Structure 1
């Protein structure tokens, strides 16, 4: 019986270890971001996150929540792969020199792939070490009769393949959006999970972003005796959100100037050299090149994404299966308990996918759009709004003003979300006022899309300045980092730049 709970016990140990280790990593990343933003703020710039969110960067809770994101993605991937490799070693070899060699190879591999980013390497290799210990601790003895571990893995494999086959027809580039709309935003529990994710996801995201991906970057421009050149460089840097700060601060990027040559330094190391004329004529590409050169987190981003789409669902399945096995304690036959738990898991993972089959396939023409917008089925209305948004169509062509008003006040979050996004392509003078109404929506996802659409309202000359003022006001007053992030992006689309 022990072998049925062995995978869940090992995977739980690995995920818990990853949570603890990555939480420490996120915490120090948050502290570094806090110091950077305080310096930028003291230099007179608008900052995101604002003063309401900024203190949380020094708190433990956001670090723990951010660590949970990594634990369920990167940690899950490392745990699952290590579990499979060490279980195979334990079953077929059991030679400790081989296990030690594999661990050494993994250490060297991570060190190189993480570009000698020691903190990230230590976190990942420590997670691997914790999983190895857990496998050695919990691995059940073989009874010599058909080896139950193999039969158990085979049973899990059959269920997993069935789940994949049922989901496969509906897997597309926007599968995560569909899962959010259909499974999370359609019920209270799912909404809480969604809100938790969007409240805390930017904390871990800052940990592995490249310099170019960060919203705000600090810089020091050490150009003396040439005020005109200094101002030109500063203007180019601000346009890319590299904001000049105090000389005493160790900025993200430091620019030295000597004999008409600019030297770009990061953490004390010279990264790039070019003439001032070359930089002034192509600053955006040069800054992207510099970011590429100092990006040590490419591999971490890659394995995090791959783990999210593969390891995370698998580990969730293993945990639920063990839970249902325990719940079927009254069934004496282990085989029947395993089959019963597998059946329940199969239903839990596939029934949501079946609901996706209701969604209309292919593109919707004008006739269908009007029909779907008037449908009594909310999935039809959302599909129509999504099609209008994807094709940059004007929603006022397909819907009456009174229906628009009903949608804005409607109870369905997914509907309001896609309505907010479609308004960005509207050319109706009323669309600006509708967007402002959606900015006061109680759901942060809807507000984010309203901000996105407000940033696209640059086809009227008059509202631009009004929109900019409104967005800045909301950046400073909002208590949600994700909303502020979308608001700042909207400002940039309107052509706004930072000023001291």
Structure 2
């Protein structure tokens, strides 16, 4: 008797473990950030998150959805690699030890890899828990079959994956993700929902992944006294002294002739007193980058994301389809039809992306692009507006600008405000200010950036600061606040808030 390998039920324990680990890791990272943001806001200090976005980031669903980014990258990668090795030990070799012992060596090597810059808690837990949980799940659920299959037939399931990978690799060029966003994600309700969910829920995961120096709100405690001027300079670089009882990112202490910077994800790193006195914020950023112990974990996430996410999607489609076909056909036919259908579906999804790339490489002559600005075809209008935003000198009239900004196409509105930021004009200044009320967060993010670029050249810095500050304080969207905060820093010293 033969039963299908229950791939999804085998993977589920490892993926659930990944979700739990990611949620706890995100909560541990974001909890002190949120509490410090509340305290800083009460003290009149502007930082992000701020106001409504604090409640957004503190919500339970934010952490659960943000954790999916880890599940679909490092969780999927570790789970699938372990499943493949455990499956091979059960089916491809006469003695499991031939694969079990080398796999155990890889597991130990993974633990050493994530801790090569020093011990780190959560990366160690990822490496320590997910592989053995998935291995045990695979061995326990692997069905016994009376049907003898050749190794070739067993490995034949990899052929569609190889074909899809070869078809996808040429698309990973510069600009392709922008094409996907403009032509697919921002052109339909489903795409807009996916885009909005990505930008709304990924900020906490990004905070976990980013080096401390790259974060907007960075906290410290210090055993050495710091002058008010030094603390003010640190605040200008995003460093804030944490409140008692809250876990800081770093701890600053004196050790001999040096100041030592340490933290839960940092190696103790020394900086000279002269370097710190000259530029304290820059010195702390440099020290946290030099002492960062999370680099190998970031590399692991990227390594697992590229194969892990697509293969997991393939498995989620293949396994149910194979079950359905098995009600009608025999096992080999059911597997073949499910593989063929998944392959054709994957190729049909990839095919439009080739045409997107061709559209991006379309006509570049100004006289042709000027006619495209008034075209009935969305793709031609978008191509011309994007070319204008990237520096191509076209005759973009106010009629075209107003039509785009008042239209229903978020991609056209996005590239129109990009153009207004790159080509500042007193005539079009009010159009930029009005774009701050756009319903699409991508457009608002680009608008505050465009305002910060155009305002100094038009001598409208104060008006831009006031408009961007209002947007920051009113928005509940974390990325809108992040872009607005960056824009305010670009325009000058951050204002205090009442």
With structure 1 as the length reference, what TM-score do the two structures score? 0.87
| Residue correspondence of structure 1 range 77-88 to structure 2 within 5 A | 77-88=77-88
Aligned residues of 1:82 and 1:132 also touching (Cα < 8 A): yes
Q: Which residue of 2 aligns with 1:287?
A: 284
- Shift of residue 444, structure 1, vs aligned partner: 1.1
Stretch moving more, 298-307 or 444-453: 298-307
Matched, 1:412 2:409: yes
User: Aligned residues, how many?
Assistant: 490
Q: 1:376/1:326 Cα in 2 relative to 1: closer, same or farther (>3 Å)?
A: farther
Q: 3-state DSSP class of the match of 1:180?
A: helix
Stretch moving more, 355-364 or 314-323: 355-364
Q: 1:17/1:403 Cα in 2 relative to 1: closer, same or farther (>3 Å)?
A: same
Aligned residues of 1:417 and 1:446 also touching (Cα < 8 A): yes
Q: Which residue of 2 aligns with 1:151?
A: 153
Q: 3-state DSSP class of the match of 2:219?
A: strand
With structure 2 as the length reference, what TM-score do the two structures score? 0.88
Q: Which residue of 2 aligns with 1:119?
A: 122
Counterpart pick for 1:307 among 299, 304, 307: 304
Aligned residues of 1:424 and 1:454 also touching (Cα < 8 A): yes
| Residue correspondence of structure 1 range 390-409 to structure 2 within 5 A | 391-393=390-392, 397-409=394-406
- Shift of residue 386, structure 1, vs aligned partner: 2.8
- Shift of residue 279, structure 1, vs aligned partner: 3.1
Matched, 1:94 2:91: no
Stretch moving more, 92-101 or 112-121: 92-101
Q: Which residue of 2 aligns with 1:378?
A: 378
- Shift of residue 232, structure 1, vs aligned partner: 4.2
Q: 3-state DSSP class of the match of 1:472?
A: helix
- Shift of residue 475, structure 1, vs aligned partner: 1.1
| Residue correspondence of structure 1 range 10-409 to structure 2 within 5 A | 10-91=10-91, 92=93, 93-95=95-97, 98=101, 101-102=104-105, 105-106=108-109, 108-110=111-113, 112-113=115-116, 115-143=118-146, 145-147=148-150, 150-154=152-156, 156-220=157-221, 224=225, 230-244=227-241, 251-255=248-252, 262-266=259-263, 271-276=269-274, 278-283=275-280, 285-359=282-356, 360-362=359-361, 364-389=364-389, 391-393=390-392, 397-409=394-406
Distance 2:2 2:127 in 1: 28
Q: 1:386-432, CA deviations, whole angstroms, 9 ceiling, x for partnerless residues?
A: 3333x3456xx432211211111222222222222222201211333
Aligned residues of 2:219 and 2:242 also touching (Cα < 8 A): yes
Where does structure 2 lack aligned partners over 5 or more consecutive residues? none
Distance 1:473 1:316 in 2: 41
Aligned residues of 1:441 and 1:447 also touching (Cα < 8 A): yes
Stretch moving more, 397-406 or 473-482: 397-406
Where does structure 1 lack aligned partners over 5 or more consecutive residues? none
Q: 3-state DSSP class of the match of 2:30?
A: helix
Distance 2:43 2:258 in 1: 26
State the 4+ residue runs in structure 1 displaced beyond 6 angstroms. Answer: 257-260
- Shift of residue 480, structure 1, vs aligned partner: 0.7
Q: Which residue of 2 aligns with 1:485?
A: 482
Distance 1:457 1:211 in 2: 30
User: Cα RMSD between the aligned structures?
Assistant: 3.0
